[in-house]
Amino acid sequence: MKEGPDIAYVATLIGDPARANMLTALMSGKALTVSELAEEAGVTIQTASSHLSKLNDGGLLRPRKQGRHKYFALANDDVAHVLEGLMGLAAGTGHVRKRTGPRDAELRLARVCYNHLAGDMGTQMFDSLMAQGHLVLDGEELALTDRGAAFAADFEIDIDGLRKARAPLCRECLDWSERRSHLAGSLGRAFLSRFEELAWAKRDRKTRVVTFSRSGTEAFNGLFPVN
């Protein structure tokens, strides 16, 4: 038997269609109940409970209780990162589900990828931050420059606080619809939260769509111009 990480085990957990649907639903960043996840997967609550038990035992979920209800969320950013990568791989190799109409276009424009902005506007933000010298690639690692730290601070993001946290500050995440990078990590999460605080954007917890107002779109484009 070969030694090392058992990717076949993790792939089997993700590869079941019902479990894949549940995990995709949790990419909204919102914790969901067993009944909500059963509806997303198109299975009974009993079957959903069995699937969730396997995902939890495999370390892909983080369960928590609130009152009488038990909720499930993705275990961490690493799980979301892998799922987004698999979505990109599936899209890039032609394994795409039938389009759902206008909502699909909205998802491609701007959506939540676990806790940060993805879609066309997410890649625009990433490209602009790179072009302005706020982000740089240090080898294979994404890094925030001093100029970028000042830029984020001017946008009222607590960079010092983010750096003290355990989560990575900057991560490059391959966008499944754009096939280009968007910004993940605690900084990506902070930018999305700030857009919501300023009422530039509002997320739909059920669909993952992020809707920017007209004024929010104008402000976003001014902050993150692209050539």
Query: Residue 49's domain is classified under what CATH number?
Result: 1.10.10.10
Q: Answer yes or no: is 183 within a domain.
A: yes
- Going by DSSP bridges, is the β-strand pair 210-212/32-33 parallel, antiparallel, or unpaired? unpaired
Q: Please report whether residue 22 resides in a domain.
A: yes
Interhelix angle 34-41/45-57, rounded to 10 degrees, is 100
Integer Cα distance of 80 and 83 in angstroms: 5
**Residue 172 sits in which domain range?**
100-223
Identify the pLDDT of residue 101.
41
| Rg (alpha carbons) of the chain, rounded to whole number | 18
Report field, pTM of the whole predicted structure over 0.85: no
Residue 91 inside a domain? The answer is: no
Query: Is the domain of 208 the same as that of 108?
Result: yes
Query: Quick check: is 142 in a domain?
Result: yes
Please check whether residues 107 and 213 belong to one and the same domain: yes
3-state secondary structure of 20: helix
Residues 65 and 119 in one domain: no
Each residue's pLDDT, cut to its tens digit, for the chain (227 residues) gives: 567 788 899 999 999 999 999 998 888 778 889 999 999 899 999 999 999 999 999 999 999 888 788 899 999 888 988 888 888 787 777 766 654 444 678 888 999 988 899 999 999 999 999 999 999 998 778 999 999 999 999 999 999 999 998 888 998 888 877 778 899 999 999 999 999 999 999 988 778 899 999 999 999 999 999 87
The rounded distance, in Å, linking the Cα atoms of 111 and 195 is 13
Is residue 60 domain-shared with residue 111, that is, in the same domain? Answer: no
Spatial separation of the C-alpha atoms in residues 163 and 57, rounded to whole Å: 31
